[in-house]
Chains A and B, each alone.
Chain A
Amino acid sequence: MTEEKFDAIVIGAGMAGNAAAYTMASRGLKVLQLERGEYPGSKNVQGAILYSNMLEKIIPDFRDDAPLERHLVEQRFWMMDDTSHVGIEYRSDDFNESRPNRYTVIRAQFDKWFSRKVREAGATVLCETTVTELARDTNGRVIGVRTDRTGDVILGDVVVLAEGVNGLLGTRAGLRETPKPETVALAVKEMHFLPEEVIDQRFGLKANEGCVIEAAGTISRSMAGLAFLYTNKESISIGIGCLVSDFATTMESPYELLESFKNHPSVQPLIAGSEVKEYAAHLIPEGGYKAIPQLFGNGWVVAGDAAQFNNAMHREGSNLAMTSGRLAGEAISRVKKRGAPMTKENLVLYKSMLDKSFVIKDLRKYKDMPALLHTNSRNFFTTYPQLLSQAAQNFMRVDSTPKIDKERATTAAFIKARSRWGLVSDAVRLAFAWR
């Protein structure tokens, strides 16, 4: 293998790596993809929701044979306190369309399918291979990789670092910084199995329809965090994630947090009687636009979670990973087609394609959101959910109190908790961070 030279070496067989490898292999490039897991997906964790539009741009007919769980027709957002939730939900029959917009998937199964497509496109996929080091020439240009299989360098014109949020290679080589506790969340998740018809009944679903619940509030114990519950065909993915810096400060244990969420009176009936078959943990990039590292250099590009591409406000990560991987693959293919070298000057094409895409535009839109939510987590994740719950209960509970007094009590509670200035300030800062 040391004699061989590849047009591109892709590190990792997650969403970004598979998108990049597929894009390049299907354009005729000689691609080697390295994955440290036993099979593609064995190290990958996601909720998981798949976004059709972004996958269609890579594999238009993916619906023919991809392992899809349910297409989503309903989304619920919950603000929770200890005994209640206040919710917004949207459900529409319009989502029962011939080419549905979003699906739940199980990553280990989906990634195996995606990897099969990558191999069919002509790439060489080598699993059970941990890349230990980037090989560089005397000018610092990346020329290949070393793995734990052999000490020899495997040569490639360009290395696509799709090594995930906790990627070691790029950080050890000084191409980007290790994520900071403030820019990553730790999420834990369980797979709860239930018969398909039980899930249908509990969520009011039929014929592969799916429902998503995302929840914030006192369940994160004042940390910046979010819990989720996704319906798969015969299982429910349930989990919760909070900023690592908040975990370190509070010393909360993530599995106790998950247990509390599962035992919340709004959640417990939905998963009652289920069989747990897996417990997983993973980091999620949360730094947003301001945490995006240098994306390209001489002989390398970085894509997906490794580049902090995650839209925390919309809980979209895998589509940014797929799109950045695809654009990296397209950019490299275009440079290759011109017969030009994989230098920083030429690979800037990847960055300019990303800048024109939704990936960078969306992250830029919410560039101030992480700072706002992360530094005011008690207000947004405890105080407001509690106030909302009290306001709702005050509104619903019928007694002999005149309505005008109830309204005054609700207003007084908000002012007491945050002050008039605090309420206005929170609203203004939220509005500015959102625009």
Chain B
Amino acid sequence: MTIAVTNLRVEDKLYQNRYVVDSGRPHIKVRPHQQPSANLYALTSVCPAKCYELNDEGQVEITADGCMECGTCRVLCEASGEIEWNYPRGGFGVLFKFG
């Protein structure tokens, strides 16, 4: 299958990757909040796997299934306590075929 190199959505990009999802044990959690800080809000566009999205109330939610474990969100939001960040259990998470 040859994919045109233009206009790929991030979902299509992530579809190429291999993951072993640890169901029911997300390795990143967002602390409940009324309004996101600037850094937390920035994750909705800066996260390379687009794991962070705004809900209808304007709060930031995470679905970590497509996470590539880069740590960008940890660097931006762990110190403030807005997110809790751990590595997945051994063997789970993204498994790069090429890296």
> CB within 8 Å of B: which residues of A?
36-39, 41-46, 48, 106-109, 111, 127-130, 147-149, 165-166, 168, 178-181, 184, 186, 188, 190-192, 235, 244, 247-249, 251-255, 259, 262-263, 268, 271-283
Chain B residues positioned under 8 Å from A181 (CB to CB): 75-76
B residues 1-55 touching A (CB-CB < 8 Å): 1-3, 5-8, 10, 13-14, 16-17, 20, 38-39, 42, 45-46, 48-50
CA distance A81 to B86 in the complex (A): 39
Q: Is B89 within 8 A of A251, CB to CB?
A: no
What is the chain B residue whose CB lies nearest that of A251?
Answer: B45
Known contacts A148-B90, A273-B2: A186-B14 contact under CB 8 Å:
no
B residues 65-95 touching A (CB-CB < 8 Å): 68-72, 74-76, 78-79, 85-91, 93-95
Contact of B39 among A43, A48, A248 (CB under 8 A): A248
Q: Is B48 within 8 A of A277, CB to CB?
A: no
CA distance A127 to B6 in the complex (A): 37
Chain B nearest CB, measured from A200 CB (Å): 19
- Residue from the set B2, B20, B70, B79 with the largest chain A CB neighbour count within 10 Å: B70
Residue pairs across A and B with CB atoms within 8 Å: the count is 160
Chain A residues positioned under 8 Å from B70 (CB to CB): 166, 186, 281-283
Q: Is B1 within 8 A of A190, CB to CB?
A: no
What is the chain A residue whose CB lies nearest that of B70?
Answer: A281
Chain B residues positioned under 8 Å from A191 (CB to CB): 98
CA distance A147 to B38 in the complex (A): 35
Chain B binding surface, main DSSP class: loop
Chain B residues positioned under 8 Å from A262 (CB to CB): 5-6
Q: Is A128 within 8 A of B99, CB to CB?
A: no
Q: Is A268 within 8 A of B5, CB to CB?
A: yes
CA distance A71 to B90 in the complex (A): 34
Chain A nearest CB, measured from B29 CB (Å): 15
Contact of A45 among B3, B6, B93, B99 (CB under 8 A): B99
23 contacts between A and B (CB under 8 A): A36-B90, A36-B91, A37-B95, A39-B95, A46-B99, A107-B99, A128-B91, A130-B90, A166-B74, A166-B75, A186-B46, A186-B48, A235-B98, A247-B42, A251-B42, A254-B48, A262-B6, A263-B5, A271-B5, A276-B8, A279-B16, A279-B17, A280-B98
Q: Is B72 within 8 A of A276, CB to CB?
A: no
Chain B nearest CB, measured from A109 CB (Å): 8
Chain A nearest CB, measured from B34 CB (Å): 21
Q: Is A276 within 8 A of B96, CB to CB?
A: no
